[in-house]
Amino acid sequence: MRILLIGAGGVGDALAKIAARRDFFDHLVVADYDLTRAQRTVAAIADRHGDTVAARFTAARIDASDADAVAALAREHRATHVMNAVEPAFVPTVFAGALAAGADYLDMAMSLSTPHPTDPHTQTGVMLGEQQFAAHDEWVTAGRLALVGMGVEPGLSDVFARYACDELFDTVDELGTRDGANLVVRDENGDEMFAPSFSIWTTIEECLNPPVVWERDRGWFTTPPFSEPETFVFPEGIGPVECVNVEHEEVLLMPRWLDARRVTFKYGLGAEFIGVLQTLHTLGLDATEPIRVRSADGPVSVSPRDVVAAALPDPATIGPVMTGKTCAGMWVTGTKDGAAREVYLYHVSDNEWTMREYGTQCVVWQTALGPVIALELLATGAWSGVGVLGPEAFEASPFLELMARPESEGGYGQPWGMREGPG
Amino acid sequence: MRILLIGAGGVGDALAKIAARRDFFDHLVVADYDLTRAQRTVAAIADRHGDTVAARFTAARIDASDADAVAALAREHRATHVMNAVEPAFVPTVFAGALAAGADYLDMAMSLSTPHPTDPHTQTGVMLGEQQFAAHDEWVTAGRLALVGMGVEPGLSDVFARYACDELFDTVDELGTRDGANLVVRDENGDEMFAPSFSIWTTIEECLNPPVVWERDRGWFTTPPFSEPETFVFPEGIGPVECVNVEHEEVLLMPRWLDARRVTFKYGLGAEFIGVLQTLHTLGLDATEPIRVRSADGPVSVSPRDVVAAALPDPATIGPVMTGKTCAGMWVTGTKDGAAREVYLYHVSDNEWTMREYGTQCVVWQTALGPVIALELLATGAWSGVGVLGPEAFEASPFLELMARPESEGGYGQPWGMREGPG
């Protein structure tokens, strides 16, 4: 297996570092628009693991908005797998570039949605991932696999959903991804500061788009942003967090392979963060269309959302000043043996541990874990397929077993939890 | 009198349009960094008043950040007065350029402050206007006048303060500028939208800098932003508005010429606007230092605050979709003939009227009124002086009389109000 990793931001960097401890691949090219970022990732691997391990890694420059450039770089390095770790705006070009180069493809976020033109808070427009699912036949014909939405959420959440459907329930009522954290970032004076732990670009996209919900009788439909607030109690000391509906891939993936009455995604944003996102929207600072702005070099065109991202601390750099845990998980209700059942399947990532073990903050580290495990399952043949498939199209047990098995026994040493009954 | 007006934004445009109805000057050059903005102002004057009036106006391009360019343009047009209508960041260069060209100078906002390095919420650092007052002797030696802070606030507020001290009080306790409005901007669907009626750049500067207060026993000192909230009842149907301390020129100007125990400035921001400003600050989007941002043309350097300003509707353009009134005024407490007295002197500007009469929204129109009246008083010799002087250094009665006198009798037709006692 030869992997072309596109993107050396927080998640791409963590992904390379997790892969550096594994033997299942022959070579991994870390490519970024900013070559120095890619080089920094490879240098960090050399520092920690020595030159022999680092010899399996190469840094390269790539413009992810150019499908031909992606294909050319994939061919140049004879990549068997293109691993997409850039923002979802670049999904179409990386996805097309991989297919053109005859490589398999994985991503952690899917092609973006476009709201319904007249009724955005009730009806779907172009749906998340729709562009990719439309290419399913093309990928089947080429005999290639596009494993889409294979991060933590979507990704591990979908694996949990498949596991619940296969092993824990006879009938499923709701498949509800629930994500929450108790992370705090402090400045040099010890004061709490505003520093999102994940790409603000993607967070704005997720949270300000109309949330999508799926119901068996109704299909996909949308609601206004921040709808149906609920307090969900997260495990391992995180406790109660206010969660709201957010547009997310799980809702588009799960109904294609799993049988449930309702599929939802709720994100534990908290009141302060919701307020910030609403203000950005009110001011038009969430916009991605470039606007003209004066500068010392004369007028320039920039996207306001890119400016917001550039003004905030890079999520990849806040690990050392952050404390707390993040929890990704799948809350499932339904029946087993004729009785009602409620289960929360989850994985908790502790920032102190990820910083010590990988020099990476916990949210991006947790996102990067799933795709490495998936790549390993594809390398060993435990998982295989062709076409555009979500994580729930594959058997869940091999994934969860490899993830939980101790490192000393060849696993990833990442146990997951299961809570029975209400939290 | 030959006027070089620097800046054809909302206020500069309104200033030229008000001047177009007056005969006291020979020529007015409208200069802007963006020549098309200056040309638009002159074209609007030609449309409304015909070519004879428009012949007294010329459009020009200027880089206000270059003092030599300001001086060269002033000399080229033999300007006797340089009228500064650009953002306060450019005060030092326009101020220096005017002096170099041997012209008198007026502005509506003063050189910017720098917070105290270690104790910003108690002690002043470099104060608003300090750079300009430091040049007083130079201007006196040159025999030239710099009339600073001559808009509406500062400007008309200072004229009111001088009037109160001269005519209405024996002893003054507090000179408190109080500004409030009931303006609403609606989008095409009739929904209220966020669209500040004044330069967001300047508003951020004013509101996020530590507010400054003056007391006879203590001198100038600062407080945390948004301190000492009070509900002030504004006249003419505007009603109660929550006001907070804001850094403003009046507090720096009045104690130099007027005798009071305390000088304050409170702005009726309202809770929503305070929330927006606090969020911008939390996210670092109020910063003026350029940051690197990606763009279609490669990385560029832009100031986040410039991006916020560019993302919002131009305050000069919202007049047609705005309704309501804005009130600028001076609340004075003290004694007269041995009895306690409380007075609010004010001027209200109604957007419907300014739009109909001038095609300009009311807040920028009200700001532009004072400097035109001041220029006329300087042209007629009713006001004269040398050095760096505030509006309260001049007799108030000629100003207030000319402002209130009907247009049919050669005045500006802008009556002002006086409310006795608490509102």
* Same domain membership, residue A213 and residue A320: yes
Query: Is residue A423's pLDDT more than 80?
Result: no
Residues of chain B positioned with their CB less than 8 A from the CB of A308: 283, 285
Residues 6+ apart with CB under 8 A from B231: B240, B241, B242, B243
Query: Dihedral of the CA atoms B187, B190, B193, B198 (nearest 10)?
Result: 70
Structure tokens belonging to residue B158: 């200072």
Is B226 within the bounds of a domain?
A: yes
Given an 8 Å threshold on Cβ–Cβ distance, is B310 in contact with A291? yes
Given an 8 Å threshold on Cβ–Cβ distance, is B310 in contact with A301? no
Calculate mean pLDDT across residues A151-167: 98
Given an 8 Å threshold on Cβ–Cβ distance, is A301 in contact with B297? yes
Do the interacting molecules here have an ipTM over 0.85? no
Cβ contact B3:B29 at 8 Å: yes
* Same domain membership, residue B303 and residue B166: yes
- Quote the pLDDT of residue A374: 98
Q: Which of B341, B363, B385 is the last residue of a domain?
A: B363
- Quote the pLDDT of residue B423: 67
Chain A interface mutation, best of B63, B283, B308, highest count of A Cβ atoms under 10 Å: B283
- Quote the pLDDT of residue B269: 87
* Same domain membership, residue A402 and residue A253: no
The beta-carbon neighbor of A283 closest among B293, B297, B312 is B312
Cβ contact B361:B318 at 8 Å: yes
Given an 8 Å threshold on Cβ–Cβ distance, is A306 in contact with B285? no
- By a Cβ cutoff of 8 Å, what residues of chain A touch chain B? 33, 194, 275-276, 279-280, 282-285, 287, 290-297, 300-304, 306-308, 310-312
The CA-based angle B362-B363-B367, given to 5 degrees, is 110
Calculate mean pLDDT across residues A307-314: 93
Closest by Cα among A371, A373, A370 to A382:
A373
* Same domain membership, residue B189 and residue B332: yes
Identify the DSSP state of B314: P
- Counting residues of chain A whose pLDDT is more than 70, the rounded percentage is 100
Closest by Cα among A294, A273, A309 to A10:
A309
Start-to-end Cα distance in chain A = 42
Given an 8 Å threshold on Cβ–Cβ distance, is A304 in contact with B307? yes
* Same domain membership, residue B400 and residue B302: no
Is B423 within the bounds of a domain?
A: no
Residue of B nearest to A272 (CA): B279
Alpha helix locations (H) across A246-327? 249-257, 271-282, 304-311
Q: Which of B344, B363, B382 is the last residue of a domain?
A: B363
* Same domain membership, residue A245 and residue A375: no
Given an 8 Å threshold on Cβ–Cβ distance, is A302 in contact with B297? no
* Same domain membership, residue A294 and residue A172: yes
Chain B interface mutation, best of A194, A285, A291, highest count of B Cβ atoms under 10 Å: A285
Give residue A336's domain range. 156-363
Is A264 within the bounds of a domain?
A: yes
Given an 8 Å threshold on Cβ–Cβ distance, is A290 in contact with B293? no
Query: Is residue A296's pLDDT more than 70?
Result: yes
Calculate mean pLDDT across residues A103-132: 96
Q: Is A275 helix (H, G, I), strand (E, B) or coil?
A: helix
* Same domain membership, residue A371 and residue A345: no
CATH at residue A269: 3.30.360.10
Chain B interface mutation, best of A34, A279, A308, highest count of B Cβ atoms under 10 Å: A279
Please state whether A111 falls in left (phi above 0), alpha (psi between -120 and 50) or beta. Answer: beta
- Counting residues of chain B whose pLDDT is more than 70, the rounded percentage is 100
Is B229 within the bounds of a domain?
A: yes
Given an 8 Å threshold on Cβ–Cβ distance, is A312 in contact with B276? no
Q: For A241-252, b where at least 16 C-beta lie within 10 A, e where not — what string? A: bbbbbbbbbbbb
> To the nearest whole angstrom, how far is the Cα of B221 from the nearest Cα of chain A?
24
CATH at residue A67: 3.40.50.720
- Quote the pLDDT of residue A196: 87
Residues A1-24 pLDDT 10s: 999 999 999 999 999 999 999 999
Given an 8 Å threshold on Cβ–Cβ distance, is A307 in contact with B307? yes
- Round to whole Å and give the CA distance between B29 and B34: 14
Query: Is residue A99's pLDDT more than 90?
Result: yes
Per-residue pLDDT of chain B (423 residues; tens, 9 = 90+): 999 999 999 999 999 999 999 999 999 999 999 999 999 999 999 999 999 999 999 999 999 999 999 999 999 999 999 999 999 999 999 999 999 999 999 999 999 999 999 999 999 999 999 999 999 999 999 999 999 999 999 999 999 999 999 999 999 999 999 999 999 999 888 888 888 888 888 889 888 899 999 999 999 999 999 999 999 999 999 999 999 999 999 999 999 999 999 999 999 988 888 889 999 999 999 999 999 999 999 999 999 999 999 999 888 788 899 999 999 999 999 999 999 999 999 999 999 999 999 999 999 999 999 999 999 999 999 999 999 999 999 999 999 999 999 999 999 999 999 999 886
Is A419 within the bounds of a domain?
A: no
Residues of chain A positioned with their CB less than 8 A from the CB of B278: none
- Quote the pLDDT of residue A270: 82
* Same domain membership, residue B291 and residue B171: yes
The beta-carbon neighbor of B302 closest among A33, A287, A300 is A300
State how many domains chain B has.
Answer: 2
Query: Is residue A359's pLDDT more than 80?
Result: yes
* Same domain membership, residue A226 and residue A88: no
Given an 8 Å threshold on Cβ–Cβ distance, is B276 in contact with A282? yes
Is B132 within the bounds of a domain?
A: yes
B406 CB burial (10 A radius; 0-12, 13-18, 19+): exposed
* Same domain membership, residue A305 and residue A228: yes
Given an 8 Å threshold on Cβ–Cβ distance, is A295 in contact with B311? no
- Quote the pLDDT of residue A58: 98
> To the nearest whole angstrom, how far is the Cα of B87 from the nearest Cα of chain A?
13
| Residue A116 φ/ψ, nearest 5 degrees | -60, 135
Is A247 within the bounds of a domain?
A: yes
- Round to whole Å and give the CA distance between A324 and B243: 39
Is A206 within the bounds of a domain?
A: yes
* Same domain membership, residue A314 and residue A195: yes
Residues of chain B positioned with their CB less than 8 A from the CB of A294: 33, 302, 306, 310
Specify which residues A341 forms β-bridges with.
A334
Given an 8 Å threshold on Cβ–Cβ distance, is B275 in contact with A276? no
Identify the DSSP state of A112: P
